[in-house]
Copies of this chain bind each other. A is one copy, B any other.
Amino acid sequence: MIYVILDNGKELAKTALGAEGYVPWEKVKQTGDVIRRLKQEGFRVIALEQDRRAINIRDYRLRHSQKYALIVGYEVRGIDKRILSRCDKIIYIPMFGKKESLNVSVAFGVAGYLLKFKKQTAKSKNIKQSSKIK
C-alpha cells in the first residue's frame, strides 16, 4: 500500500506509468495522520532520511514477524523534522562519492529491497535457530 502526499494526481500518473492502476495507493493530506494510523495497525514506521539520529540501513535489524512502513520524502527538501520525530526509527543509505543524496526512486528501491532481504534473512535465521533447538 502506498500513501501519497500530492497536490494533484497528475505527477503520480506520469511517474507510475500505469502502475497506479493496480498498486493500491491513497492520496492523503497529512503524513502525521498516516503515521498514527499505521502505528495503530501495528506497523513500525521507519523514515529514510539523512539525519544525525539516523542509523546506517546496513546495521538496521528487522524482525521477521514485524510489519514495517517506510517513509520517503520530497526530493530536495526531504522529510519534515516534525514528521521525523514521530517515526519509530530513522535510517539512511550511506553515500559513496560526492553526491549528497540519491534520487528518491533509487533510494526507495535500495531501501525497499534491502529491508525485504533483511526480513527474509531474519526468517531463515529463525528457522535455523529453531531447528538447532530440536
Contacts and interface: CB of A to CB of B under 8 A. Distances in A.
Interface of A: 19, 22-23, 58, 93, 96-99, 102-103, 105-107, 109-110, 113-114, 116-117, 120
A114 to B, nearest CB: 7
What is the oligomeric copy number?
2
Contact of A105 (B19, B96, B106, B120): B106
Chain A contact residues, majority secondary structure: helix
Contact of A102 (B58, B99, B109, B117): B109
Contact of A114 (B96, B107, B113): B113
Contacts of A113: 93, 110, 114
Of listed A103, A109, A116, residue having the most chain B CB within 10 A:
A109
